[in-house]
């Protein structure tokens, strides 16, 4: 194989490695946030997150990290002795730190697989941004390849870190404000719901009904935007995670936020399933299954009537 072939394989491995490093801490956040749920819901959520973590970590992230090491070593041999390339020496230093970060994430992964939580959701959100910092530093070094540009890049890196910290704190405040101001609708009585909803909406949202397959408004609807709860208007799903599952109902492989839904064990109809409810108004939305696409492996099978689409 020639140099360009190894370079292509190296780039592909880097992309998939970073994909895992970006998404894994997000799953850590979801797992930690599930601690605030009631015991039954907490177990359902955390068991699912552990499955998702194992699939992502052992199926994508670790194999990609090993491939990067192999192909990167082959490419580095083309620049021997590397001391003649200051940018490459610094880049390899960042890559070594990135592998240390990978091992650090592996330790958190093992803890959560054993139901141990060492970091708060906010701390995990900060940890989630570390891979972004490494990505910016490494790309600048590879593309610019000169000492002065490296200095500018490192200064820019610290500016990026400061911006990320401010953004994380602002996001936390926005989340807290939204959660505080969002009206609790769980205690509205049935008469009020009958006034608020039409007959079909009431049957599905409040009586846990199911619309006919292949007939819902959003089954084969793929316009960009946000899907909210038809009962209270709270955000649930993004069009970016919607896909055609062939099941007959709208399907999503992820939610906007785990706090936006509740998962309940459902043993009706002689089957053992996991019901999905809106966490703000307790409306029935559908069910979630473990046969979805990567990276989550989940399929949120949701009634169209339980959703309202808003264009982005």
- Active site members: 301
CB 185 within 8 A of CB 281: yes
Q: Is 99 helix (H, G, I), strand (E, B) or coil?
A: helix
Residue bearing tokens 């200064």:
155
Tell me how crowded residue 141 is: count the other CB atoms within 10 A of its CB. Answer: 24
- Cis link prior to 81 (omega < 30° from 0)? yes
Q: Please tell me the distance from the alpha carbon of residue 268 to that of residue 156, in angstroms, as a whole number.
A: 56
H/E element holding 20? helix 3-33
Query: Does residue 254 sit in helix, strand or coil?
Result: coil
Structure tokens belonging to residue 129: 């941004």
- For residue 190, CA distances in Å to 186, 193, 196, 234 come to 11, 5, 10, 20
* Contacts for 129-135: CB closer than 8 Å, 24+ residues apart: 129/164, 129/168, 130/101, 131/18, 131/21, 131/22, 131/25, 131/98, 131/101, 132/22, 132/160, 132/164, 133/157, 133/160, 133/161, 133/164, 134/94, 134/97, 134/98, 134/101, 135/18
Residues 284/302, Cβ–Cβ less than 8 Å: no
């Amino acid at each position: 194989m020639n140099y360009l072939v190894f370079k292509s394989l190296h780039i592909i491995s880097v992309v998939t490695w970073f994909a895992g490093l970006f998404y894994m801490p997000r799953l850590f956040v979801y797992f930690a946030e599930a601690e605030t749920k009631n015991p039954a819901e907490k177990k359902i959520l955390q068991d699912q997150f552990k499955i998702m973590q194992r699939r992502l970590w052992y199926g994508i992230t670790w194999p990609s990290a090993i491939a990067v090491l192999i192909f990167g070593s082959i490419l580095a041999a083309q620049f021997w002795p590397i001391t003649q390339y200051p940018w490459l020496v610094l880049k390899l230093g960042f890559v070594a730190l990135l592998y240390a970060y990978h091992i650090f994430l592996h330790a958190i992964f093992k803890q959560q697989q054993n139901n141990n939580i060492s970091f708060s959701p906010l701390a995990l959100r900060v940890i989630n941004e570390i891979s972004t910092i490494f990505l910016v530093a490494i790309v600048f070094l590879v593309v610019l390849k000169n000492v002065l540009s490296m200095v500018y890049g490192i200064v820019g890196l610290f500016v990026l870190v400061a911006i990320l910290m401010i953004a994380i704190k602002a996001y936390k405040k926005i989340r807290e404000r939204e959660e505080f101001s969002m009206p609790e609708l769980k205690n509205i009585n049935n008469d009020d719901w009958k006034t608020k909803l039409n007959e079909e909406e009431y049957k599905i949202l409040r009586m846990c009904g199911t619309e006919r397959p292949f007939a819902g408004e959003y089954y084969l609807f793929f316009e960009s935007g946000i899907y909210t709860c038809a009962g209270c208007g709270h955000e649930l799903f993004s069009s970016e995670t919607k896909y055609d599952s062939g099941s007959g109902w709208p399907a999503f492989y992820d939610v906007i936020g785990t706090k936006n839904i509740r998962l309940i064990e459902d043993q009706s109809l002689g089957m053992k399933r996991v019901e999905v409810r809106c966490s703000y108004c307790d409306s029935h939305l559908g069910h979630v299954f473990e046969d979805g696409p990567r990276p989550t492996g989940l399929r949120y099978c949701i009634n169209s009537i339980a959703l309202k689409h808003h264009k982005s």
